[in-house]
Structure 1
Amino acid sequence: MRKGLLFSCLLLTCGVAQAAPISLEYQGFYQRLKQVNKGHYPLVEIAFSVPKTKECVVLGGSITTEKEQFPLTINESQRLFIPFDDALKSNRAVINLDMQGDGAHCGIAMQIRAKQTKQQYVREEVQSINEQMNQLLKSMQGFPMRYFSESTNGINFEFDKDQQVTITTDGIEHRFSGVYRLSTQAISELESISFSVTPKVISPWTGTE
Structure 2
Amino acid sequence: MKSNLLALLLGLAGVATGVQAQEEFVVSYDGFYDRLKVIEKGEFEFARVNFYLVDIATLAPCGIKSGKIVTETSEQPLNYTQEAQLLLPFSEKLDKDKAVIVVEPLDPQHDCQIKFQIESAYFTNTHLTKQRLYQLHHEFDELLSDLSGFFVSKLMGFLLPEQQGVKVTFASEPNLSAPGVTCEKQVCQFKVTDDWENDTARFNTLSEVVTVTPWIEK
Deviations 1:99-143 (A, max 9, x none): 112333x21111111111211322211111111110111112248
Distance 1:136 1:50 in 2: 21
The corresponding residue for 1:166 is: 175
Distance 1:51 1:133 in 2: 23
The corresponding residue for 1:127 is: 134
List gaps (5 residues or longer) in structure 1.
none
1:159 touches 1:200 (CA, 8 Å); kept in 2?
Answer: yes
The corresponding residue for 1:201 is: 211
Aligned to 1:131, the other structure's residue is in SS state helix
Question: Which of 15, 21, 35 in structure 2 is aligned with 1:10?
Answer: 15
Distance 1:88 1:73 in 2: 15
For structure 1, which segment, 180-189 or 90-99, has the greater mean C-alpha deviation from structure 2 after superposition? 180-189
Distance 1:187 1:197 in 2: 26
1:117 touches 1:198 (CA, 8 Å); kept in 2?
Answer: no
Distance 1:51 1:5 in 2: 15
1:71 aligns with 2:77: yes
Deviation at 1:4, TM superposition (A): 4.9
Distance 1:115 1:63 in 2: 24
Given the superposition, is the C-alpha separation of residues 175 and 206 from structure 1 closer, same or farther in structure 2, using an over 3 Å criterion?
closer
1:136 aligns with 2:143: yes
Structure-2-length-normalised TM-score: 0.78
Deviation at 1:67, TM superposition (A): 1.6
Say which structure is richer in helix. 2
For structure 1, which segment, 189-198 or 16-25, has the greater mean C-alpha deviation from structure 2 after superposition? 189-198
Aligned residues: 201
2:69 touches 2:99 (CA, 8 Å); kept in 1?
Answer: yes
What letter matches 1:103 in structure 2?
H
List gaps (5 residues or longer) in structure 2.
none
The corresponding residue for 1:181 is: 189
1:165 touches 1:176 (CA, 8 Å); kept in 2?
Answer: no
Aligned to 2:72, the other structure's residue is in SS state coil
